Amino acid sequence: MAEGSGRRMAPSRGRSVLRAKSALTRDRIADVALTLFNAQGYTAVTTNRIADDCGISPGNLYYHFRNREDILWYLFEGVEKRIHRLFLDPAFTETGVDRLRLQIMGAAEILAEFRFFFHDHIAIMRRDPRVEASYRGLQRDVTRAVARDLQPLTGEDGEQSFRLASSLWIVATGWVSFLEVQGTAVDPVSILSLVDAVLDLVRPRIRPAA
Amino acid sequence: MAEGSGRRMAPSRGRSVLRAKSALTRDRIADVALTLFNAQGYTAVTTNRIADDCGISPGNLYYHFRNREDILWYLFEGVEKRIHRLFLDPAFTETGVDRLRLQIMGAAEILAEFRFFFHDHIAIMRRDPRVEASYRGLQRDVTRAVARDLQPLTGEDGEQSFRLASSLWIVATGWVSFLEVQGTAVDPVSILSLVDAVLDLVRPRIRPAA
């Protein structure tokens, strides 16, 4: 829905419908691009191919996105928002191991959906300083938040908690690639094996009191 | 040293010297390529650039390697041999946590040296079925071997041991990328933080008896 579509009177109504239609096309291009990126890898997909699969002209695509990097950034902002909501939103009040379980289940969904990015994030970041800065911030913020959540559960010190959170981050972000190398198709069911893997790493460290 | 250089008599001595020289050039090309791959990423480096940095002509490079994929394969065979020696060689008789510590220290060295590969192994494997088959075998053999070693230490069942070994594999192969995203320069000292990270994951599961 176009923002503020209800705020204006009749004369601008035609424009806001157009704007809503434009946002729909934008999302559609991003969806098609995501499917192609996941299937063929980010660098192998051209904007011409994306336009083609959308059934629009390259000119129409360039009206919505300047280039492939712009589409990536649009997708990445969506990933960022969802990860923030899972790990950094104070409204998410679940605590303890349940909190971690829900977070990992949410993360597994995101990882499967954007697996092209986690396959070669270093190469993508090298080409795009905007994505690099953003992913660096995400890794830092999430590992810190998870370390903070773990401390009361395990009773371990800050350094050890950060080290555990770092390992969990690496296992989570690397799980899809691991499954693919192993020859396991990545789908909403197979990716859930990540939840057990992560909880297995945390469980033996939980204090009896917690 | 050229293989079998001592086995023949004087007449072929000239040829074996040439062969030794050729092997030296081959290794030099591979070394230069490895440095470039690590600095710029595998896909960004051309054979022309490798020849240039070696101070040889592209024609001379093609005498030793047909293409970039051939250089990658040569490097990868070296990685494979070293990983086999660490994880699958029956002559490596250390046991228990000491065995794991030595293995991870050895692995850390290999990971830092060939980090270009672990940065985007999925993209590289997609382009090269030979590397794909080989890396798939490596992941399978090492995770199984580690799971087998862990079982008597933790007393956990086969499935749980395999899950732990899988997580350790992912942490190990993802550690260099994690450090780089974090902004930590990867050198022989910083990479050793991997050893603590992995041992931290195993230690709380070790049975008092072991």
pLDDT tens-place string over residues B144-162: 999 999 999 999 999 999 9
* Chain A partners within 8 Å of B164 (Cβ): 200-201
Q: Supply the pLDDT for residue A92.
A: 83
The per-type count for chain A, helices as H runs and strands as E runs, is 10, 0
Residue B4 has pLDDT above 50, yes or no: no
Q: Which two tokens stand for residue A122?
A: 């270093």
pLDDT tens-digit readout, A146-201: 999 999 999 999 999 999 999 999 999 999 999 999 999 888 788 999 999 999 99
Q: Which two tokens stand for residue B141?
A: 């053999």
Angle at A192 between CA A186 and CA A194, to 5 degrees: 95
Chain centre distance of CA B182: 23
Range name among A82-86, A131-135, B19-23 with the lowest pLDDT average: B19-23
Q: What's the CATH superfamily of B68-210?
A: Tetracycline Repressor, domain 2 (1.10.357.10)
Q: Supply the pLDDT for residue A208.
A: 82
Q: Supply the pLDDT for residue A63.
A: 95
In chain A, where the domains are located: 1-65, 68-210
Range name among A20-24, A160-164, B94-98 with the lowest pLDDT average: A20-24
Chain centre distance of CA B108: 9
Is there a shared CATH topology between the B1-65 domain and the B68-210 domain?
no
Residue B14 has pLDDT above 70, yes or no: yes
Residue A11 has pLDDT above 80, yes or no: no
Q: Which residue blocks in B9-46 are alpha helix, DSSP H?
A: 13-40
Q: Is B135 exposed, middle or buried (0-12, 13-18, 19+ CB in 10 A)?
A: buried
Residue A22 has pLDDT above 90, yes or no: no
Rounded average pLDDT over B29-33: 97
**Three-state secondary structure call for residue A130:** helix
| Whether complex ipTM tops 0.90 | no
* Chain B partners within 8 Å of A171 (Cβ): 167, 170-171, 174
Q: Supply the pLDDT for residue A12.
A: 62
Measured distance CA(B59)–CA(B62) in Å, rounded: 5
CB contact under 8 A, B43 and A43: yes
**Which one-letter DSSP state was computed for residue A10?**
G
**Do residues A5 and A22 lie in contact, with contact meaning Cβ atoms separated by under 8 Å?**
no
Q: Supply the pLDDT for residue B132.
A: 94
Q: Supply the pLDDT for residue B11.
A: 55
pLDDT tens-digit readout, A138-153: 999 999 999 999 999 9
* Chain A partners within 8 Å of B41 (Cβ): 122-123, 126
Measured distance CA(A3)–CA(B127) in Å, rounded: 44
Give the count of beta carbons closer than 10 Å to the beta carbon of residue A8: 11
Q: Which residue of A has its CA nearest to B115?
A: A122
Mutate to test the interface with B, among A124, A167, A184 (most CBs of B within 10 A): A167
**Between 1.10.10.60, 1.10.1040.10, 3.30.70.141, 1.10.3720.10, what CATH number should domain B1-65 receive?**
1.10.10.60
What is chain B's mean pLDDT, rounded? 89
Residues 6+ apart with CB under 8 A from A111: A118, A172, A173, A175, A176, A191, A194
pLDDT tens-digit readout, A39-65: 998 989 999 999 999 999 999 999 999
pLDDT tier, B93 (very low <50, low <70, confident <90, very high otherwise): confident
User: Left if phi > 0, otherwise alpha if psi is -120 to 50, otherwise beta: which for A96?
Assistant: left
Q: Is B176 exposed, middle or buried (0-12, 13-18, 19+ CB in 10 A)?
A: buried
Measured distance CA(B83)–CA(A151) in Å, rounded: 35
